[in-house]
Amino acid sequence: MNIDPNLDSALIVPNTAGPLAGISVLITRPVIPASRTAKRLAVLGATPLVYPTILIKPSIEKEQIEAVQTSLLNAYAIIFVSPSAVSVTLAGGVKLPHSVKVFAPGLGTAEELNLRGVNNIVTPLKSFDSEGLLELPDLQTAHVNGRHIIIFRGDSGRELLHEELEHRGAHVEVYATYHRYAPETPPAGLLELLTANKINVISIMSSSAVVNLVSLVSAQVCNQILFSLPVYASHKRIKAAAEEQGFLNVIETEPGDKGLITSLLNLRK
């Protein structure tokens, strides 16, 4: 696994006999989930090239953690909007009451919760996003009106979930437990991979990730190399963002690692 020199290094040797052997995949997720994606791809033979275009910095303080812990005791539901929201919040010492309902918009977030011993998780049945969460029976007006809901998320993003739950009568507390930012260092390793034509596919699982990726590369390299590479986008909104940036071949996949891997395997059929 190739990782930019500014990030923690790790070595993963691809299974050369796997069905994805010969495919090099640029992974743009934050470091922790990117490492899991890389291992899963390597088992199947792909060469993972990790270059996170979103970096995560915890922003929750000790006093906030204490306030959160108190709030949880009276909560009807807790919503984690991303794997990073889970890893940062629960690393801060927050303990979830067994009686509270826990929601996750997608399988990646649910997996992150599972890894930390949380198993009573509700996820959408079809649309793995805020819209999908808002369709769930337990988050309809009859259940949330007058109840206390806590959302853990980053310091930016869509307000749909927060606003709609309040519209349904819920008392919503939002905790921004982490800050997202783009890499500021010159992307030498990434440029070397691009100019040497060592990237076959780009995996994008966030609209911010694709915007940040383009901002790190010169217009010349974007037009001559980057925009021609196939992009595997894990949501229709991310697909639209990639096309808006200028990518010419964007494939929408099912959510998460499973969606990416399934699409890559279909490519080889």
- Strand 101-103 relative to strand 77-80, pairing: parallel
For 178-192, what is the mean pLDDT?
Answer: 85
Mean pLDDT throughout 76-82? 95
Match domain 57-180 to its CATH number in 3.40.630.30, 3.50.50.60, 3.40.50.10090, 3.30.70.930: 3.40.50.10090
**Topology of the domain covering 2-54+185-268:** Rossmann fold (3.40.50)
**Interval 85-132: pLDDT, tens:** 999 899 877 889 988 999 999 888 998 999 899 988 999 988 889 999
Domains in the chain: boundaries: 2-54+185-268, 57-180
Can you give the C-alpha Rg of the chain in angstroms?
A: 19
The predicted-structure confidence for 3-13, as pLDDT tens digits, reads as follows 443 333 345 67
- Written as one string, the DSSP assignment of 172-190 is EEEEEEEEEE---S--HHH
Contact 113, 85 (CB under 8 A): no
Beta carbons of 49 and 145 less than 8 angstroms apart: no
Of 2-16, 74-88, 147-161, least confident by mean pLDDT is 2-16
What average pLDDT score do residues 212-220 get? Answer: 93
- The answer to whether the Cα torsion of 185, 240, 175, 74 is positive or negative is negative
User: What is the pLDDT at residue 15?
Assistant: 81
Q: What is the pTM of this model?
A: 0.84
Q: What is the pLDDT of residue 7?
A: 37
